[in-house]
Amino acid sequence: MDWNLLLTQFLNGLQLGLLLFLLASGLTLIFGIMDFINLAHGSFYMVGAYFCATLTLLTGSFVLALLMSVAGVFVVGLVIEASIVRRLYQHDHLDQVLVTFGLILCFDTLVHLIWGPEGMAIPLPRLLDGQITVGSLVFPTYRVIIIVSGLLVAIGLYVLVMKTRLGMLIRAGASNRVMVSALGVNINRLFMIVFALGAALAGLSGLLIAPITEASIGMGNEIIILAFVVVIVGGIGSIKGAFFSAVLIGLIDTMGRSYLDDFLKLFMSIQNAETAAPALSAMLIYILMAVILAVRPQGLFPPAGAR
Amino acid sequence: MRLVLEVHDVTTFYGDSQILFGLSLQVQEGQVVTLLGRNGMGKTTTVNSIMGIVPPREGEIRYGSRLISGLPPYRISNLGIGLVPEGRQIFPNLTVRENLLATAGNMSAKKDPWDLERVLAFLPSLKARLRNLGNHLSGGEQQMLAIGRALMTNPTLLILDEATEGLAPLVRAEIWSRLKLLKTEGQSILLIDKNLLALMRLADRHYIIEKGNIVWSGSSRELEAEPALKARYLGV
Ligand SMILES: Nc1ncnc2c1ncn2[C@@H]1O[C@H](COP(=O)(O)OP(=O)(O)OP(=O)(O)O)[C@@H](O)[C@H]1O
Ligand SMILES: [Mg+2]
């Protein structure tokens, strides 16, 4: 067994998991609290990446571009909520799915018009572009940065939702929005903030991955499906659930892709294992989802007091 | 005396079905006013109309001199109306402490406002439950919490819909004594309950609602003097 490879893959899985968490945390809040299904959540992921690419070129500073982009996607989220999404809360899920699917097409076309069909790379500052060596393990610095910032955001989000007044209102709004407004809180504004916050987190996720993969049209469309799996496995509306299921799914997906063939070779022919492994590893998380839903239909960590 | 709330000729619908038919009532400052009537007569609908939860189609509702019909619920609440709703509607996924704090505020800019400490001294049964989730409370505790939660918004007018419904006698007595105390502090209250005896002792004025209309109003003494009313409209 190559322990360095295992550790590297573990870190890669963790990184994927944390990026998924950033994407899924907003999705789960929006789904859990506003009962709104936003297929276009992945578009914020893409927009974040493009904003950051352009702003990095303009400002010359990745970190500055990062901050500005997150703020920018927050504003985009506000605008989309106020102009389109707000009208859909009262509609059923099918309408929401149709409209937000349309939104994906609009976003993709808009990005195509503004930035062209080619992807955009984001150059990293030298400081972040190196490698960290621990013993015989060599791991790119930037991936460590992704992991650390994902963990920090997770902690921050947990504190926000569990410890602050805004978080109390978010949770209260999830259980009884009429009562929240009858007690003096502007629920429309609250929803708008939650939506934009979710958008900003998705944008952060997209711009963090873009220096590795580059910003490209439709980059959010694949990962949003994974993010929905994360939301459902974790328990709709649960930040804690989103965190653990995102990390779990990130790890299983990454590990499956690199180790499943070895594993299958233990009890089938090498040739069969090599054909079965890629197909199976692509399905692994969906199998996981099916199993978890069969055992715990509410997901791993349904929000406290959920009915 | 100053008028706190004036409901004037209000008509309210749920979809196509009309529930209130030109209902009017008034609450003066510092008064406890009750809304009496059998099941399904429109008491909760009246509350929902006042709060803007189900905005009236016609008529006017004024808070002080200000027109509030047509405003969204949060603005009405912010002007100084605190609601203890039918069914208590505690946030089940928040702790008792969070239930009290989440929507707290000093809406009517009181000099000596309700805060956590004062509410807990006023409703001591909540003290030991602060860390419990709302859905882990008994009915009585939930009602105390609903009252505390409304007081934490520091309302000028407190509305209680079914103040003691479904509660044990001892808990009811506790709630009546709390409301009495609030009254002596000058709190204006609009009160809905089916416990006539307690209401007559506490309230200054009563309105009887029948099929979405006020059919009688008067003081406790006047109500006492007309036993026919009780039989006819209240089923007692
Ligand atoms: N959401 C609703 N949609 C349609 N009709 C409703 C709705 N809520 C109440 N109603 C009807 O409105 C009428 C008045 O109901 P309301 O809840 O105001 O009565 P109430 O006097 O508060 O009764 P209770 O003593 O049972 O609380 C009833 O006939 C009821 O069936
Ligand atoms: Mg009622």
pLDDT tens, N- to C-terminus, chain A (307 residues): 688 888 899 999 999 999 999 999 999 999 988 889 999 999 999 999 999 999 999 999 999 999 999 999 999 999 999 999 999 999 999 999 999 999 999 999 999 999 999 999 999 998 889 998 888 888 899 999 999 999 999 999 999 999 999 999 999 998 899 999 999 999 999 999 999 999 999 999 999 999 999 999 999 998 999 999 999 999 998 999 999 999 999 999 999 888 888 888 888 888 888 888 888 888 889 999 999 999 999 999 988 765 4
Of A169, A184, A305, nearest to B78 by CB-CB distance is: A184
Going by C-beta distance under 8 Å and a sequence separation of 6 or more, which residues neighbour residue B85? Answer: A179, A182, B47, B146, B161
In tens, the pLDDT along B139-191 reads 999 999 999 999 999 999 999 999 999 999 999 999 999 999 999 999 999 99
Q: Does residue B39 line the site of ligand 1, with CB under 6 A?
A: yes
* Contact in structure between A43 and A205 (CB atoms under 8 Å): no
Burial category of A109 from C-beta neighbours within 10 Å (exposed 0-12, middle 13-18, buried 19 and up): exposed
DSSP label of A237: T
Quote the domain boundaries for residue A144: 12-219
Going by C-beta distance under 8 Å and a sequence separation of 6 or more, which residues neighbour residue B109? Answer: B154
Taking a contact as any Cβ pair under 8 Å apart, which residues of chain A between 248 and 307 contact chain B?
303-307
For chain B, how many structural domains are there in total?
1
CA distances from A175 to A34, A87, B78, B135 (A): 10, 20, 21, 11
Q: At what angle do helices A239-265 and A3-34 cross, to 10 degrees?
A: 140
Q: Does residue B65 line the site of ligand 1, with CB under 6 A?
A: no
* Contact in structure between A14 and A172 (CB atoms under 8 Å): no
Find the ligand nearest to B54 CA. 1
Amino acid at A138: V
**SS3 assignment, position B1:** coil
Cβ-Cβ contacts under 8 Å, B91 against chain A: 171-172, 175-176, 179, 305
CA gap A148, A15 in Å, rounded:
9
Cα R_g (chain A), whole angstroms? 20
Per-residue pLDDT of chain B (236 residues; tens, 9 = 90+): 799 999 999 999 999 999 999 999 999 999 999 999 999 999 999 999 999 999 999 999 999 999 999 999 999 999 999 999 999 999 999 999 999 999 998 777 777 899 999 999 999 999 999 999 999 999 999 999 999 999 999 999 999 999 999 999 999 999 999 999 999 999 999 999 999 999 999 999 999 999 999 999 999 999 999 888 888 888 76
Assigned domain for A99 exists? yes
Q: Which atom of ligand 1 is nearest to the CA of B212?
A: 14
Assigned domain for A290 exists? no
pTM for the complete prediction?
0.90
Q: Where are the alpha helices (DSSP H) in A88-238?
A: 93-115, 126-129, 141-163, 165-175, 177-182, 187-213, 219-234
Cβ-Cβ contacts under 8 Å, A302 against chain B: none
Assigned domain for A183 exists? yes
DSSP label of A303: P
Quote the domain boundaries for residue B152: 3-233
- Of B158, B144, B222, nearest to B186 (Cα)? B158
- Which H or E element spans position A272? helix A270-295
Across the A:B interface, residue pairs with CB atoms under 8 Å apart total: 76
Assigned domain for A250 exists? no
Q: In this structure, what token pair is assigned to residue A289?
A: 């989802």
For A161, nearest residue in chain B (alpha carbons): B94
Please, what's the b/e burial string for B132-163 (b: 16 or more CB within 10 A of its CB; e: otherwise)? bbbbebeebbbbbbbbbbbbbbbbbbbbbbbb
* Contact in structure between B153 and A184 (CB atoms under 8 Å): yes
- Of B124, B86, B85, nearest to B103 (Cα)? B85
For chain A, how many structural domains are there in total?
1
Q: Does residue B212 line the site of ligand 1, with CB under 6 A?
A: no
The per-residue DSSP string of B15-56 comes to: TTEEEEEEEEEEEETT-EEEEE--TTSSHHHHHHHHHTSS--
Three-state SS string over A19-35 comes to HHHHHHHHHHHHHHHHC
* Contact in structure between B79 and B63 (CB atoms under 8 Å): yes
Assigned domain for A243 exists? no
Assigned domain for A122 exists? yes
CA gap A206, A200 in Å, rounded:
10
B194 at interface of A, judged by CB pairs closer than 8 A? no
Assigned domain for A231 exists? no
Assigned domain for A278 exists? no
Taking a contact as any Cβ pair under 8 Å apart, which residues of chain B between 102 and 121 contact chain A?
102-103, 105, 107
Domain of B109, CATH number, reads 3.40.50.300
For B93, nearest residue in chain A (alpha carbons): A305
Query: Which residues have C-beta under 5 Å from ligand 2, the single-atom ion?
Result: B 43-44, 86
Q: Where are the alpha helices (DSSP H) in A116-140?
A: 126-129
Q: Which atom of ligand 1 is nearest to the CA of B45?
A: 18
Find the ligand nearest to B37 CA. 1
